[in-house]
Amino acid sequence: MGAKVKIAFYDAKQYDSESFDRRNADFGYSIKYFPLHLTEETAQFSKGYDIVCAFVNDTLSGAVIDILVTNGVKLVAMRCAGYNNVDLKAAFGKLHIVRVPAYSPYAVAEHAVALMMSLNRKTHKAYYRTRDNNFTINGLAGFDMNGKTAGVVGTGRIGRILIKILKGFGMNVIAHDHYPDEAGAEELGYSYVSLDELYARSDIISLHCPLTKETQHMINDDTIAKMKDKVMIINTGRGQLIDSKALIEGLKSKKIGSAGLDVYEEEGDYFFEDFSSEGLEDDVLARLLTFPNLLVTSHQAFFTVEALENIAHTTLENIRVFIEKDELPNEICYHCQTGGCAKKKNGRCF
């Protein structure tokens, strides 16, 4: 059965094919790697394939979904946790969508800390100085993490791991979550507060919540005004949690002391690609990159060997249980959008 299953794999990079080929030795599927993003134009390549494997910057609009269905695709296997690029309403009743709900929360939490430490101690600047034989330390002063207050927005797996790390630095941690984990708070020694209180008290704010209508642009002109002067903002969640133009104004006014972004709200056209020989047409991103106190990484927080192996295994296992058992334990649908649907029967949403 496995050898007959054909998978169209979009937005494929070398590290994708390497990790999936290693794992696929246990499954035996036929995988065709397409370097192109999934769009209305490239969706035509899915004809003759049973499964489409997509990533965060692929487009799964209603029009794309209709093309996939017409081409005979039965399942879209997202090889990521996020799915804000999927029109779930358009997909419901037509095409099943599965995801990888967790691959390595340690990878993302640790990357958030790497951004914090780099911004604080300016190690990225020191690296370039010493490479030029410049050993001055003027302008490189940071602050002790110990005793400072960190505000963590979202206390799921990633948020809780981050809290453990920050507590290890001796930081005071406050948090906000729509569904507070009071037992976890007592165990780890942090407290839940309102967003306004978190903004007002935090020296560092780190975002680890999903992108929803309520959280879109939660960091904006009004909320930045409520924050401490010289606050550090870290975002390894979703780009649209931050209004980029408001972030620029906060950096210009020095209300925001520094910011670390692993995601950007319009990243789809740039992240994971090489534009080193070209100019940026995105004026907002270009402006952000001019700030010396802003550090951008290209959506690499997930990018560890362990995470890549887990992504490949879970994605292929999602396909296996669909093919062999007609079950979809990691399905996301229009009704639940969290992987657990009240309408779900036998592991399927419809």
State the DSSP code for 338. Answer: S
Hey, what are 245's tokens? 């133009």
- DSSP run (H or E) holding 171: none
Are residues 7 and 31 in contact, defined by beta-carbon separation less than 8 angstroms? yes
In whole angstroms, what is the distance from residue 241 CA to residue 74 CA?
Answer: 32
Which of 47, 51, 94 has the alpha carbon at shortest distance from 76? 51
29, 43, 315 from 23: Cα distances, Å: 10, 25, 10
Hey, what are 315's tokens? 């994605």
Which of 330, 343, 293 has the alpha carbon at shortest distance from 142? 293
What are the backbone dihedrals phi and psi of residue 246, each rounded to the nearest 5 degrees, phi first? -65, -35
User: How does 39-64 read in b/e, with b if 16+ C-beta sit within 10 Å?
Assistant: beebbebbeebbbbbbbbbbbbbeeb
* Residues forming the active site: 238, 267, 299
In whole angstroms, what is the distance from residue 67 CA to residue 111 CA?
Answer: 37
In whole angstroms, what is the distance from residue 326 CA to residue 32 CA?
Answer: 23
Q: Within a 10 A sphere around the Cβ of 158, how many other Cβ atoms?
A: 27
Which of 282, 235, 236, 231 has the alpha carbon at shortest distance from 253? 231
The beta-carbon contacts of 323-326 under 8 Å, at least 24 apart in sequence, are: 323/1, 323/2, 323/5, 324/1
